[in-house]
Amino acid sequence: MLRSFYRAFLERMYIFGQHRADGTGLTYLRARYLHTTIGRFISHDIWEGNYEQPLSFNAWAYVEGNPIRYIDRTGHSKGAPQPPEPPPILFPPGDPCKGHPNEEECKYYVLDNWNMEKRRPPYIRQWYPSSGIPYADLRDFQQKLHKEENYAQGVVSSEWNGLCGLITVAAILDRPVRTLIIDEYYYGINKLDKKYGNPSWVDGAKLRDFINQLYGDEWDASYRNSPTRYDRNPDSILFRTLGSNKFIMPLVEIVSGSSTNPIGGKVGLTSRTYDGCNNSEGSKLCHWVAITGMSLPWHSDDNSPYNWVRIFNPFDNQEEYYRWKDFREAWHAVTNAYSEVVISPDPEGK
């Protein structure tokens, strides 16, 4: 009985994410069999292929010869792998600073300090992913790269409103900022401004179309404006999205847009009550950033001071850290919803 159980178990093993059908030693890949000993299919693929993907015409290949990046769910064509299932990431009971070599300093920066310096990483055990995105290639006419300096965004243009989105996109796509600005001028002004009737680049739908229509062969962008998306289980949403090599660009409120203010570009709530991003008197200062990481483990109470996010901020062209509670409030305050552009590599190469 036990031997029969193990034989049945082995016959249902998964190889390359696929099912071994029976005791023949062949691996069934949903539409044809693979001989694992010689590493060859015993029959060709009946799918005729796609003219936009020349490698798909090789009827004997598996996922166009790239099993590390793709999987084959149907047995006919490649596809992107499913996002990883998020493991339990609740914070263990107790004080995370207890037993830390610098316990008092840990409590000051994690619990007491509102992170006024923006750039000081809190005492967090782990970040997911472990590293963020590089600085944007933001240069002046002397070819000096400006990063981690007050109002680095102003080097490109003194009219900072709306430029934050393009700088953030440049950092994610790893493109020179000036290249995207030229693309904006020739494509955005001529086509997207006519479509949306809005010269400001804080419009998420406009930013999405800009990415898809100019860089859609490598990237895919979507836009969402949901009033409740991050109100429940934000840890699961963040973990799934970041773990799928996607980038979240939230539209947040900042406390100051002044080049002389040491906390210019700082994400946070203000006393401004007018919801809008038209840069008029009394309106909120709307600003695009990118979430590049989350603290782990994540406390079950989403408002816990131990839950943090790491972001890329184009204002100073640098990495910054914020408590999730404070960041989420500044995110939701702009339009009474979570406005976001999500950018991901396009594995199909449209």
Tell me the DSSP string of 139-195.
Answer: B-TT-PBP-SSTTGGGGT-S--TTHHHHHHHHHHHT-BHHHHHHHIIIIIIIIIHHH
Which of helix, strand or coil describes residue 66? Answer: coil
**Are 14 and 44 spatial neighbours (Cβ–Cβ below 8 Å)?**
no
- Single-letter residue type at 18: Q
Are 116 and 213 contained in the same domain?
Answer: yes
- Residue 154 belongs to some domain of the structure: yes
Which domain covers residue 60, as residue numbers? 2-65
Are 25 and 135 contained in the same domain?
Answer: no
Are 43 and 109 contained in the same domain?
Answer: no
* Distance between CA atoms of residues 350 and 348, nearest Å: 6
Are 114 and 236 contained in the same domain?
Answer: yes
Are 139 and 281 contained in the same domain?
Answer: yes
- Residue 237 belongs to some domain of the structure: yes
Phi and psi at residue 161, to the nearest 5°: -60, 120
- Residue 85 belongs to some domain of the structure: no
Are 154 and 244 contained in the same domain?
Answer: yes
Residue 2 pLDDT: 37
Q: Please report the beta strands in the chain, taking only residues with DSSP state E, as ranges in sequence order.
A: 14-15, 18-19, 26-28, 33-35, 40-41, 126-128, 219-226, 247-253, 286-288, 290-296, 308-313, 318-323, 338-345
CATH code for the domain of 180: 3.90.70
- Residue 176 belongs to some domain of the structure: yes
- Residue 125 belongs to some domain of the structure: yes
The overall longest dimension of the chain from CA atoms, in Å, is: 79
Number of domains in the chain: 2
Are 54 and 202 contained in the same domain?
Answer: no
Residue 294 pLDDT: 92
Residue-wise DSSP of 107-137: HIIIII---TTSSS----SEEESSS-PPPPB
- Regions of the chain short of the pLDDT cut 70: 1-25, 28-31, 35-40, 44, 46-52, 54-56, 60, 62-65, 67-96, 109-117, 119-122, 157-162, 185-201, 273-282, 347-350
- What number of residues does the chain have? 350
Are 134 and 239 contained in the same domain?
Answer: yes
- Residue 74 belongs to some domain of the structure: no
- What spatial distance separates the first Cα and last Cα of the chain, rounded to whole Å? 52
- Residue 95 belongs to some domain of the structure: no
| CA distances (Å), origin 258, targets 160, 162, 269, 294, 343 | 10, 15, 16, 28, 29
Residue of 335, 337, 241, 322 lying closest to 289 (CA atoms): 322
Are 245 and 332 contained in the same domain?
Answer: yes
Are 38 and 158 contained in the same domain?
Answer: no
Are 45 and 112 contained in the same domain?
Answer: no
Residue 12 pLDDT: 40
Give the position of tokens 């006419």: 141
Q: Which of 38, 65, 92 is the last residue of a domain?
A: 65
Q: Which of 18, 36, 65 is the last residue of a domain?
A: 65
Residue of 258, 275, 255, 273 lying closest to 322 (CA atoms): 255
CA angle 257, 261, 262 (to 5 degrees): 115
Q: What is the pLDDT of residues 228-269, one digit of tens each?
A: 999 988 988 999 999 888 999 999 999 888 877 878 889 988
Are 115 and 7 contained in the same domain?
Answer: no
pTM: 0.69
- Residue 80 belongs to some domain of the structure: no
